[in-house]
Structure 1
Amino acid sequence: MAAILEFGPFRIDVDAGILFHGAEPTPLGQRAVLLLALLVRRGGAPVSKDALIEAAWPALAIEESNLTVQIAAVRRILAAISGEAGWIETLPRRGYRYIGPAATTLDPDCATAAREQPPLPLPDRPSIAVLPFANLSGDAEQDYFADGMVDDIITGLSRINWLFVIARNSTFIYKGAAVDVKQIGRELGVRYVLEGSVRKTGAMVRITGQLIDASTGMHVWADRYDRRSEDVFALQDDIALSVVGAIAPSLRRAEINRVKRKRPESLDAYDIVLRAQPDVDSGMPEQVRQALSLLDRSIALEPDYALAHGNAAMCHHCLFLRAGLQEANREASIRHARSAIAHGQDDALALTLAGFSIGMDGHDRSAAFVAFEAALAISPSSALTYILGSVVLGWGGDPDRAIEWSEQGLRLSPFDSWAFAAFDAQALGHFHRGRYEEACRAAYRSVQANPRHSITYVQLAAALARLGRLQEAKAAAARVLELHPSFHYGRQFQGVNCAPALASSLGEALRIAGLPE
C-alpha cells in the first residue's frame, strides 16, 4: 500500500489519488493529486515539466497547457482551503517547485491509528507546546541555533507558574514534520501551540513566531525579531526573553476572553481572578470595585491564593490614590501585598503586584525591590515587573533607572496593557532630568495608551508648563480634574512618597498649569 504524505493541514493518499484537508477529502482531481504528490516528495527541489507530465500522464503525449491547467487547479485548492498562496513556485523554462511546509511520509496503518487516539484532557490551567522552529537558512548546521532558541523559550515559559508547558522531549518528536496545530493540541493535551522559524543571512538573523489557539486554529499572537548575530548565545537569550515576555500577556488576554464565555457558576478561584483582571488593569475606581467583589470570592475559595491577593492589593492602591486617599485603602493594599508575598514565593506576577503596593503605598522601596528582584529571578522575562518597578523608581527620584526599567519592560511586551505606566515613568524620569521635550513626548504616549488615567495628564501638564506651552498645559490640567475631581498634587505626592526634589520641581510646574496644591 502506498504511503501517506502529510504537509501543513493537508494529507495525500497517493494510492487512492485523494487530497484530504484534515479528515475531509478535497475536490482535487486524480491527475492534479499525482502532480502535487511528486512536488511534495521533492520538497524544495525543482521538478521538470517532463517529469511532472510523466507522473500524471504516463506514456501519453500531451500538450504542456494540460500541465499548466492542473498546476493552476492545485494552487487554487491549496490557497482556497489554507488561506495562503505560497505553495508552488514556477521556475521559468524549467518546471515547478514545492515551497510549502515540510512533508512527512506515514505508513497508512500508523496514520489511521494516530488519528484514532483519544485526545488528552486539557490541564486546569493554560497549557502550551513549543514546536521546533523551522530552519529557513538553507544551512543544516544552523539547526543547532534554532533548537537552542526553542530550548530557551521553553525554559522561560516553564518559569511562569500559572502556565503548563510541555517538555522539550515531547515537542521535538514533531521536528521536520508537517504539523496540524489542532491535531498537536489533541495529541499533547494543550490549548496553545507556539511555532516559528529562524532565517540566518550573513550577519543578520530573523526569528518569527506565532501563537495559535489549538482548539480553534485562531492566531493569538505573532511577531518578528531581526537581530545581528555577532554573539549567538546572547542573541538566543535576547530573543527568547522577548518572545516569552510578549507571549505571557497575550496568553492572559486569550484566557480572559475564554473565561468570559464560560458560565459564571462554573468558575473556580483561578477563573474568577481572570474574570477580574481587565477591571484591575483599568486603574479606574468604579471598575476596580467590581474587581474586588470577584477577588473576594476567589480568596474565600482559596485563602492562600497569592495572585488574588496581589490583584486585590492593586485594587486598593487604585482606590487609595484615586478615590480620596482613604487610609483604609492604603492599609488594605499593604495587607493584601504581604499575603501575596507570603504565599507567592514561586509566583512572579503576585510578587510584582505586591512589590508595587509595598513600594507605592507602604513607602518601603527597599522591600519593593526585594519582591521585584525575586519576581525576576523566577521569570526574567516578566515585563510587568520592569514596568511597575519603573514607576516606583520614577516617583522615588531615580530617573535613569526608571527610564532603563521602563524601556526594558516595553521591549519585552511592546503592547502591554500597562504600557501607559512605563511611559509615565519615562515622563517622570525625563522631567526630573530637565529634558522637558522628551518628558512631553513620553506623556503623550502615555495618554494615547490610556486616555482615562488622570496621572498621565498630570505628567503632560507639568511638561507642557515647563516648555512654556501654557494654554496646552491648562487644557491637560483641566482633564486631570475632570477625571479626578478631588486631585491636589501636594496630597498626591505625599500619598506616593514622592522624592523631595522631584516634588518641588513637579509641584511648581503643576501650579503654573493651574492644578490645586
Structure 2
Amino acid sequence: MTIGGDIYQFGPFRLDPAAGILYRGAEPTMLGQRAVALLRRLLENAGVPVSKDALVEAGWGGLAVADNNLTVQIAALRRVLAEAADAESWIETLPRRGYRYVGPAVVTNVPDASAAARAASAPTLPDKPSVAVMPFSNLSGDPEQEYFADGMVDDIITGLARINWLFVIARNSTFTYKGRVVDMKQVGRELGVRYVLEGSVRKAGCNVRVTGQMIDASTGAHVWAERYDRSSDDIFALQDEIALSAVGGIAPSVRRAEIDRVKRKRPDSLDAYDLVLRAQLDVDSGMPEQVTRALVLLERAIELDPAYALAHGNAAMCHHCLFLRAGLREANRAASIRHARSAIVHGQDDAAALTLAGFSIGMDGHDRGAAFTALEAALAISPSSALTYILGSVILGWGGDAERAIEWSERGMRLSPFDPWAFAAFDAQAMSHLLRGRYDESCRAAYRSVQANPAHSITYVQLAAALAKLGRLEEAKAAAARVLELHPTFRYSRQFAGVNCAPALAAALGDALRTAGLPE
C-alpha cells in the first residue's frame, strides 16, 4: 500500500487519487470516481492479482454489490484507457479470481498531476507587464459588506486596464479564486501574469481600512504595499477615492519593478519595450549627461518601432532637458516638439505618451492650450495618472497660474507619493507660493524638492529664491553655488525665456535669484 497523497504515473497516464482524476498528459479523462478507486488499487498492486473482494472494498467500501457492478466499472476503465492510448489490454481478467494490472511500469511519488496539468496549460507571459487583481478579503464580519470589497476590486481593475502598457486579467478570471486560500506564485502561473495584487477591506460603521499589496509572482517579492484609512458617509465616493489612489500608487511601482527586471537582461536581447524601460531612469533624472545616454537607447527603440509613442514621448523629454540645461540650442527645442507630435499621433490610447508630449509642447513649444488638450486627453484615458498632474502643475507654475499649479501638484502627489517626478511637483509648489508671497511655504516645498532629487539644478534654483526672499542670504548663496555646480551655464533670464515664464513670476524670481548671486 502507498501513502494516500501519492501520484501514479504509467505510460502516458497520471492518476491523482486525492483529486479523483486520471490524466493523459495534461488533459483530464472522463473516468468516474469508482473506476478511479479501482484503478488505484490495481496500480498499487501492479503485476499482482487483486481479488474481486478487494476491488469491491476499494470501490464500494465493503458494501454488498452484485458482480455486474464491478464488471461495469472495469469496462468503463478499460474504455477510457483504450480511447486514450489503445491500452484496454493493460487490465487483465483472471477468471473467478479478479483482475491484474499488466501495463507499463508504475512510478509513484511523481509531481502532482493536477499541478502538472495546470502548468502545462498555463498561458505564457504577455510582452508587457501583466497584473491580476484578486478578490479582496472582507474582514468586516458582515457578509453584506462583500459588495464594498468586490466594488473596490472592480474599480481597481478598471483603473489599471486604462493604462495601455499594462496587461490586466479580467474580473471573471480572478474571481474564480474568491473564498480560496491560494499561493500568489501559483496564481501567477495559472493566469499567466507577472504581478498579483491582493488585499482586504475592514469596514466598521463609516470607518474603512483597505490594505493592498502587489507581489511579483515570479519571485514572491513585494512590489507595492499600502494601507488606506478613511471615514465617509458616501460609501461609493469612498470606494472611488481609494481605488483611484491605489491605481495611482501601483502604476509607478510596477514600472520600477519592470525597470529592475530589464536591467538584468542582456543588452543584446532588448526589444523596443525593454530599451524604453532601460532608458527610463536616466530620462527621469532630468539632467543632460543622463538624458544623452537615454537618447541612445530611445533612438534604437524608435528604429525598431517607429510608431512607439512612449519612446517618442521620452525622447521629447530628453531634448527638453538638453534645451534648457545644455545651451538652449534650437535643434533640441525643435526635436522636443517633433517627438512630442509623433507621440500624440501614435499614442491616442497612451496616457503616459500624451502626458510627456503635452509637457514638451507646453514648455518648449510655448503652446499651453495645446499642452492641456493633450493632458486632459491623458486624464480621460487614465484618471489616476499622477505624472499628468505633476507635469501639468509645472506648466501651470511657470505660466503664473499659482493656485491651480498647487492644486494639480498636490493631486499628483496624493496619487503617487513617491513618484520619480515628485521633485517637479514640489518645484511647482515652490514657485507658486513664492509668486503669492508665501515664502515659508515656498521654502518648505523647495527643500522637499531638493530631497526628492538632489542632483537636479532646478530644485536649488527654487531653494535659492525662497531663502533669499526670507532674508537667509548665506544659505541662499550656498544654494546658488550648487545651481552653478550642476549647471555651469545657468542664466536665469535665459531660463525664463526658455520656458516662457509669466512676467509676474519672472520679476519675483529674478529679484530673488539676483539677490542670491545667480547671474542674469
Q: Calculate the TM-score normalised by the size of structure 2.
A: 0.78
Please tell me whether residue 420 in structure 1 is matched to residue 419 in structure 2: no
Distance 2:436 2:232 in 1: 35
Equivalent pairs, count: 414
Please tell me whether residue 257 in structure 1 is matched to residue 260 in structure 2: yes
Q: Shift of the alpha carbon at 1:284?
A: 1.5
Aligned to 1:297: 300
Secondary structure of residue in 2 paired with 1:296: helix
Please tell me whether residue 402 in structure 1 is matched to residue 405 in structure 2: yes
Aligned to 2:275: 272
Q: 1:315 aligns with which of 315, 318, 327?
A: 318
Distance 1:338 1:394 in 2: 23
Q: 2:460 aligns with which of 457, 461, 466?
A: 457
Please tell me whether residue 331 in structure 1 is matched to residue 339 in structure 2: no
| 2:433 partner letter | H
When residues 481 and 143 of structure 1 are mapped into structure 2, their CA distance, relative to the original with a 3 A threshold, is same
| 1:154 partner letter | I
| 1:168 partner letter | R
Please tell me whether residue 124 in structure 1 is matched to residue 127 in structure 2: yes
Aligned to 2:114: 113
Q: Shift of the alpha carbon at 1:210?
A: 0.2
When residues 483 and 140 of structure 1 are mapped into structure 2, their CA distance, relative to the original with a 3 A threshold, is same
When residues 2 and 427 of structure 1 are mapped into structure 2, their CA distance, relative to the original with a 3 A threshold, is farther
Distance 1:256 1:3 in 2: 46
Distance 1:491 1:440 in 2: 23
Distance 1:243 1:390 in 2: 21
Please tell me whether residue 361 in structure 1 is matched to residue 340 in structure 2: no
Distance 1:419 1:506 in 2: 21
| 1:358 partner letter | I
Q: Shift of the alpha carbon at 1:3?
A: 11
Distance 2:115 2:484 in 1: 64
- For structure 1, the residue ranges without an aligned partner over 5 or more in a row are 5-12, 16-110
Q: Shift of the alpha carbon at 1:166?
A: 0.3
Aligned to 1:169: 172
Aligned to 2:146: 143
Secondary structure of residue in 2 paired with 1:128: strand
Q: Once structures 1 and 2 are overlaid, which stretch shifts more, 261-270 or 189-198?
A: 261-270
**Percent identity between the two aligned chains:** 80
Q: Shift of the alpha carbon at 1:229?
A: 2.8
Distance 1:287 1:427 in 2: 25
Secondary structure of residue in 1 paired with 2:123: coil
| 1:133 partner letter | F
Q: Once structures 1 and 2 are overlaid, which stretch shifts more, 225-234 or 362-371?
A: 225-234
Please tell me whether residue 376 in structure 1 is matched to residue 379 in structure 2: yes
Secondary structure of residue in 1 paired with 2:228: strand
Q: Shift of the alpha carbon at 1:112?
A: 4.3
Please tell me whether residue 224 in structure 1 is matched to residue 227 in structure 2: yes
Distance 1:194 1:112 in 2: 27
Distance 1:207 1:284 in 2: 38
Distance 1:328 1:233 in 2: 50
Distance 1:258 1:411 in 2: 27
Q: 1:437 aligns with which of 437, 440, 453?
A: 440
Please tell me whether residue 507 in structure 1 is matched to residue 510 in structure 2: yes
Distance 1:150 1:493 in 2: 46
The alignment's C-alpha RMSD in Å is 1.7
Distance 2:468 2:297 in 1: 41
Q: Shift of the alpha carbon at 1:2?
A: 12
Q: Shift of the alpha carbon at 1:239?
A: 0.6
Distance 1:445 1:411 in 2: 15
For 1:153-164, what aligned pairs fall within 5 Å after superposition?
A: 153-164=156-167
Aligned to 2:104: none
Aligned to 2:478: 475
- For structure 2, the residue ranges without an aligned partner over 5 or more in a row are 6-15, 19-111
